[in-house]
Structure 1
Amino acid sequence: MEHGNMTDIVESNSTECQMSSIDDFRNQVYSTSYSLITVLGLVGNGFALAVLIRTYRQSSPFHVYMVNLAVSDILCVMTLPLRVLYYVNKGQWYQGDFLCRISSYALYVNLYCSIYFMAAMSITRFLAIVFPVQNMRLVTENRARLVCVGIWVFICLSSSPFLMSGQHIDEKTNKTKCFEPPQNGKSVKKLVVLNYLSLVLGFVLPFLVILLCYAGIVRALLSRTSAARRQRDTGTKAIRMIVIVLLTFLISFMPYHIQRTIHLSFLSRNDTTCSERIAMQKSVVVTLCLAAANSCFDPLLYFFSGEGFRNRLSSLRRSVTGSTLHRTARLKPIEGSKPGENQQLKAS
C-alpha cells in the first residue's frame, strides 16, 4: 500500500527516449502543482483546524473526524515543499535520507487516511439519518476517537515497510535521487502485489462502503414522511457531503488508482513504443497531482457539510469581536475627563 514508490515507478524508465522526454514536463508540472497545493492546503486546512479547535466545546463525533482529517492534510502538505525543491533542482536531492523517506511516506498516509476518514464520516451521517434512535447510543465522541486511532495505526503500520527505501545515487547521472522507483525486477514484482493490496483495502473497500451509505441516505431522504421533513437541515448537509466526497473520489482518488494499476501492467510489456511510454508517464504525473490535491478539497467538506461548522465560524467571529470591543472599552478614556484626571483615577 505504498504511495510514493508505487507512483514514482511509473515516472521513469531506463531508455534515453523516456528520460529526455519526460523530465522537463515532470519537473515543471510537479513543482508548480505542489507549490499551489501547499499554499491552498495550508491556508484552507489551517483555518478549518483553528476554527474546530477554538470551538471544541461544541464537539461531536463528526467534529472528531473533521479534526483528524485536517491534521492529516496539514501533515501532508508540510512535506510537499521538499518535493518542490527536488523537482526545481531537476531531480537532485539535497535534504538527506531521513526526509526523503518521510516525505514519500507522508503523502501516502494522507491519501489513505483521507479515504478512511471520509468513509467514517459517511457511516456517521448514514446512522444519523437512517437509524436516528440507535445513532444516539451507537455513535459517541469516545467511539469516534477510537475509530480515528484505529485508522491512524492501520495506515501508518501498513506503510511502515516503505520507510526502508530512501535516497540513492543514480549511476548514470551521479545524482542523489529520491521518489524514484526500484530498478531490479524483484522489487518491481513486490510493488505490483502491494499495488493490488492497496487498491482493494485502501480504495475499493472504503469506496464501496461510502456508496452503500449514500444509497441508504438517499433512499431514506426520498421516503421521508412530511412529519419527518422538519429535519431538512440534516438532509441538506448529507446531500452536500455526498456531492463533495464523490467529486473528491472522481477527481482525486479514482483516476490515480486506475492509472497506477494500468501503468504497472503496462511496464511488463515489451512491445510498447516510445510515444506510448511517454504518454503513460505524463498521465501518471497528472493523476498524482490530482491525488495530492485532495488536501485542497477537504476544507469544502468542513464548510458545506460539517455539523455546525459555519455556526462555529460565526460564534468564533462573535467571540473575537466581543473580546476586541471589550479591550477597546477598557482602553477608552472616560468622556469629559482630562489626561491628568485619568491618571488619578488609575492611581486610585
Structure 2
Amino acid sequence: MQEGNLSSTLGVNSTECAPIDDFRNQVYSTAYSIITVFGLVGNGFALVVLIRTYRQSSPFHVYMLNLAVADILCVCTLPLRVIYYIRKGDWCLGDFLCRISSYALYVNLYCSIYFMAAMSVTRFLAIVFPVLNLRLVTERRARLVCVGIWVFICLSSSPFLMSGASFDPKTNKTKCFEPPRSAGLKKLLMLNYLSLVMGFVLPFLIILLCYAGIIRTLLSRNHAARRQRETGSKAIRLIVIVMLAFLISFMPYHVQRTIHLSFLARSDTSCEERLAMQKSVVVTLCLAAANSCFDPLLYFFSGEGFRSRMSTLRYSTRGSTVHAAPLTPAMQKGRMRYKNKTKASGRQGQVV
C-alpha cells in the first residue's frame, strides 16, 4: 500500500538485500513529474470548460466536474513527492504535508473509480431504461451521489492520515510514504482486503454489469434511429476508455499490492524475488497515479456534450472581444442558428 521497502520496514525476511533506492527515486521523480504536467493541463482545461459552461449542466457532467476536481487536488500534491524523491528520500516539508500527500493520492484513486462507476450507471439507464432514466436521473440526485462518494472515500481513506513523517536514524533522513514501524503485517493485510473489495472489486463488478447490459441492448437494435446510434457510439467510447483505465491503472496496482503483501508473509524468498517484487510496487503505483491522465480523454470522448461546451466557450470568448462591432443580418442569422444548435445538444446531454 505504501511506496517504501515494506519487507525491511516490517522486519519480514530478515536477510539483507541491496536496496532499490536509486531505482525508486529515479522512477518516481520522473513519472510523477510527467503525470503532474499532463494532469494539470488536461484536468485544468476540462475544469475551466465545465465551470464556464455550467448552465448546460446534466447528471453526467456533474460526475465529470467532480472527477476533474479530484484529479486536480491529487495532481497538486505530486510535486511534493517529486521533491522528496529528488532529495533521495529525505522529507523536508513537515509532518502535515506528508500526511496530506499520501492521503490525497488514495482519495483520488478511489474517487475516480466510484465516479466512473456512477457515469457507467447513468449511461446504462439512458440506453437500457430510457423512460426510467428521464424520471430517475436528475442533477440534484447526481450531486447527492457525488457528496456520498466524497464522504465515503474520505472517511474510508482516513487510515492514510495516521502515518506521517518519521526520522530514520540509520540513514539520518526524515522519511515519508513509508509504513509505520509498529504496524503489523496482519493489519496491513486486513486494510488491503477491505480496500480491494470495497474500493475496486465492487465498483468494477457494477461497471461490468452495466456494460454487459449496454452492449446487449445495442446489439438487439436492428434499425436504430440516428439519435440512438449516436447515443450508442458515446456508450462504446465510454466503455473503451473506462476499461483501459481499469486495465492499465487500477487493476495492476490492486493485484500487485495483494500479491506483494502475501509475499511478505513468506520466509523462503530470495533477494532476487524480493527486489523484483519491490520494483513492481514502484511501477504499478506510478500506473495508478497516472489515472489522472486518462480522465481528460473520458471528458472529451464520452459524448458530444463536452465538445459542444468547448464550442460554446470559444464562441462566447470570441464574441466578448468583438461585441462592439455591429452585426449584419447574415451574422444575426448565423448566431441564432448556433444558439439553437447549442440548445439542442444541451437537451440531448440531459438524456445521455
Give the TM-score, by structure 1 length.
0.89
The one of 14, 23, 26 aligned to 1:25: 23
Q: Which amino acid aligns with 1:122?
A: S
1:295 aligned onto 2:292: yes
Partner residue, 1:98: 96
Partner residue, 1:89: 87
Is the alpha carbon distance of 1:266 and 1:12 closer, same or farther for their aligned partners in structure 2, counting shifts above 3 Å? closer
1:216 aligned onto 2:231: no
Q: Distance in 1 between matches of 2:6 and 2:29?
A: 15
Give runs of aligned pairs for residues 162-311 of structure 1, distance below 5 A: 162-184=160-182, 186-228=183-225, 230-306=227-303, 308-311=305-308
Q: Distance in 2 between matches of 1:253 and 1:292?
A: 9
The one of 135, 140, 143 aligned to 1:142: 140
1:109 aligned onto 2:104: no
Q: Distance in 2 between matches of 1:83 and 1:17?
A: 27
8 Å contact 1:102–1:163 — kept in the other structure? Answer: yes
1:153 aligned onto 2:148: no
Is the alpha carbon distance of 1:224 and 1:28 closer, same or farther for their aligned partners in structure 2, counting shifts above 3 Å? same
8 Å contact 1:10–1:284 — kept in the other structure? Answer: no
> What is the Cα deviation at residue 183 of structure 1?
2.5
Give the TM-score, by structure 2 length.
0.88
Partner residue, 1:45: 43
Identity across the alignment (%): 79
Is the alpha carbon distance of 1:16 and 1:30 closer, same or farther for their aligned partners in structure 2, counting shifts above 3 Å? farther
Q: Which amino acid aligns with 1:283?
A: S
> What is the Cα deviation at residue 174 of structure 1?
2.0
Gaps of 5+ in 2: 327-352
Gaps of 5+ in 1: 1-5, 331-348
Q: Distance in 1 between matches of 2:62 and 2:227?
A: 26
Q: Which amino acid aligns with 1:187?
A: G
* Offset from partner CA, 1:69-95 (integer Å, 9 cap, x none): 000000000000000000000010000
Q: Distance in 1 between matches of 2:2 and 2:171?
A: 22
- After TM superposition, the structure 1 stretch with the greater mean CA deviation from structure 2, 139-148 or 301-310, is 301-310
> What is the Cα deviation at residue 12 of structure 1?
5.7
Instruction: Please state whether the residue corresponding to 1:257 is helix, strand or coil.
Output: helix
Partner residue, 1:322: 319
Aligned residue pairs: how many? 322
RMSD: 1.5
Is the alpha carbon distance of 1:34 and 1:257 closer, same or farther for their aligned partners in structure 2, counting shifts above 3 Å? same
Partner residue, 1:8: 3
The structure whose Rg is larger is 1
The runs of at least 4 consecutive aligned structure 1 residues that moved more than 6 Å come to: none
* Offset from partner CA, 1:135-174 (integer Å, 9 cap, x none): 0000000000000000000000111233121011112112
Q: Distance in 2 between matches of 1:227 and 1:74?
A: 39
Q: Which amino acid aligns with 2:275?
A: I
8 Å contact 1:11–1:285 — kept in the other structure? Answer: no
* Offset from partner CA, 1:88-122 (integer Å, 9 cap, x none): 00010000000000000000000000000000000
Q: Which amino acid aligns with 2:294?
A: F
Q: Which amino acid aligns with 2:315?
A: R
Partner residue, 2:329: none
> What is the Cα deviation at residue 228 of structure 1?
4.2
Instruction: Please state whether the residue corresponding to 1:13 is helix, strand or coil.
Output: helix
